[in-house]
Chain A
Amino acid sequence: MKKSTRFVDNSLFRFLVVVLLPVIILLLVHFVAGNYYESVFILFFINIILAASLNLTNGITGIFSLGQAGFMALGAYISSILTLSETMKNAMVTNMPEWLTKIQLPFWAAMIVAACITMIIAGLIGFAILRAKGHYLAVITLGMVIVIKSVLDNANNLTNGSRGLSGMSKHSTLLVTVIVALLSLFILYRFRTSAFGRSMIALRDDEDAAASLGINERSIRLMSFMVSAFFAAVGGCLWAHLQRTIAPSLFYFDKTFNILEMSVLGGMASLSGAIPGAAVLTFLPQFLANFSTGFTIFGINVPQINGLTNIVMSVLFIVMIIFRKQGVTGSSEYLVGSLFSRSTYTGLFRKQTYKDFAHAFRRKKVHDS
């Protein structure tokens, strides 16, 4: 067995950074910090799911979709209709079909049903639109977001129109969200490393060469699109049960761009990129909110700026594209890979790991990737 000499590949190091540190932070957030911080962290994990689902199509398969908000909306709406009680639905929505008001599923079942229905819808849509490529596909998927919003706005007897639905119970607790996020990342990671995933990457890098190896372009692309929609719907479901009130206007261009920014900033070509991307796009706006009413810096009074967050985000976005197009992680799967690889955990039971760790520490010669 080839011994890895890099400090960052050391099992102990990986365990400390990727597993132990997040667990400690989460425990602190749950038991020490208040409700506000907890909901910010819940949002963070939901964003990870959304960004990772977009990375699967945009970065890994190379089908540039801007439709994530649409699938998220479908997941949010379907799951909310399924979890709301009959009396709630009757009070809120007029003329909802009777069989639908009668249905009430537990949260987990609703999430899976919603995600599966969204996946089927994505399959139908994808069948029609995935012929288009590149710029065409980007605009057509944006059109899809418009269509989904228009349907949600107008299907009054299902969605309560533009007023939206409210009163869902808060099922998305920190524990639930973390579990779902880890499961999603795990499934997506296995999917990426499977033969399908390799075919996706091959298609992205060279369509003709991939086709010559017998990779069925259309089915691989369609499958990637559907899996991505599935997890977008899961994210939407969690989001709906965190916010507890949803409306069609919340799943529009802003949301789509928000998810795209996470994905691009973090690194589109890897699932790991979803983590730093979601972190920036979740925590930075919360931080900037402190300054939105004006602030003083070095004795200079800065007046209130409308949409400060939007400006900072778009500048960050542009700077990132100029200086580091591939995002924070590039195509490295260090974060997700360490989290799910067995060696991170089995390595802890080997003496050699600690020796290497201590050795590297003593030399102060940290080989960074």
Chain B
Amino acid sequence: MGFFTAQLISAIKLGSIYALVAIGYSIVYSIMGMINFAHGELLMIATFSLWVLMNAGIPFGFAVILAIIITVLFGIFIEKIAYRPIRNAGESTQIITSLAVSIFLEALCQAIFNSSAKALIIPAFFSKTFKFLGVTVSVIDVVTFACTVILTIVVVLIIQKTSVGKAMRAVADNPEAADLVGIDRNRIITVAFIIGSVLAAVAGILYSGKYTSFSNDMGFMLGVKAFIAAVLGGLGSLTGAVAGGYIMAVLEIFFSGYLPGGVASFQTTFTFIVLILVLLVRPNGLFGSNNWKRS
């Protein structure tokens, strides 16, 4: 029982990060109809900004806010410079461009900070541990979970209750019709990127705060996994993104915990096989609607 609880809790910790990143992917995808491969690099930007700011002696809380702002600025900048010109280009051009941006940001980061792993020292308060259901949990785990819940609720409220959210839903539903009724699509896309960047920045900071070490290639793998989580849940659906993130984490953690010794290290393989099987049965993802396929 204790082992199961421990597994479940570590799955929730990892799943929260995946969910945060997956929501960002999902929003940007439903508004723009393209995958932002550079989304993972936003996590890297947030972590590196925080690291630089803290090394400069800025207090932690303030540095976190500044790091989030820097990430958001990067997000807007990437959209304006790289994605706006190719918005109506073919799918492969969009994939290539966002990959190129991702590679460029990673290489730039490597050039400035080199590729060795760095340590992020967060205030001692966050690494305090306590017992919960017989499992040792640290404060940052609780903060991670709380952040995910709060941010998800905030995003849902923005999308469901505000006029910007209504416009976002309209653009996601039918971009041309949204243009016709006078919705400024550029503004909506910028809003989508701001939301996505904030979520990515929080996820990045929480992730590297938890594991305390980070490097310039931290974002890509996490980004790919979170994207696959979003696809599993159904792209364009927020519920799907959150559920996909947690399911992905549960699969990964439980496969490594419960598979017999010889094959336990194949956890990634099994996770992906399950995902592919799910997509074979439900190509739109678990919570996706039938009109997921855009363009």
Contact = CB atoms under 8 A, between A and B. Distances in A.
Interface of A: 58, 62, 64, 128-129, 131-136, 138-140, 142-144, 146-147, 150-151, 153-154, 253, 257, 260, 264, 268, 305-308, 310-311, 313-315, 317-318, 321-322, 325
B279 A132 contact: yes
Nearest to B86: A321
Nearest to A129: B276
Main secondary structure of the interface of A (DSSP, over half): helix
Interface stretch (B58-66, B96-104, B200-208): B96-104
Pairs of residues from A and B, 3 with the lowest C-beta to C-beta distance, nearest first: A310-B107, A314-B104, A150-B268
Interface of B: 29, 34-35, 82, 85-86, 89, 91-97, 99-101, 103-104, 106-108, 110-111, 114-115, 220-221, 224, 227-228, 231, 265-266, 268-269, 272-273, 275-276, 279-280, 283, 293, 295
B111 A311 contact: yes
B93 A321 contact: yes
14 contacts: A62-B92, A132-B279, A134-B91, A139-B231, A144-B272, A147-B269, A306-B115, A307-B115, A310-B103, A311-B111, A314-B107, A317-B103, A318-B97, A318-B104
A147 B95 contact: no
Q: Which of B29, B92, B265 has the most CB of A within 10 A?
A: B92
A320 to B, nearest CB: 9
Nearest to A305: B111
B193 to A, nearest CB: 17
Contacts of B283: 131-132
A134 to B, nearest CB: 4
Contacts of A308: 111
A257 B103 contact: yes
A310 to B, nearest CB: 4
A306 B116 CA distance: 11
B272 A64 contact: no
B95 to A, nearest CB: 5
B99 A257 contact: yes
A291 B89 CA distance: 36
A129 B276 CA distance: 7
Nearest to A322: B85
B266 A253 contact: no
A128 B283 CA distance: 11
A26 to B, nearest CB: 32
Given A146-B268, A260-B99, A306 B295 contact: no
B35 A139 contact: yes
A146 B272 contact: yes
Contacts of A305: 111
A325 B99 contact: no
A146 B103 contact: no
Contacts of A132: 279, 283
Nearest to B29: A135
Contact of A139 (B86, B108, B227, B295): B227
A64 B268 contact: no
Given A143-B272, A147-B269, A317-B103, A138 B95 contact: yes
A325 B228 CA distance: 28
Contacts of B96: 260, 264, 317, 321
Contacts of B86: 321
Nearest to B33: A135
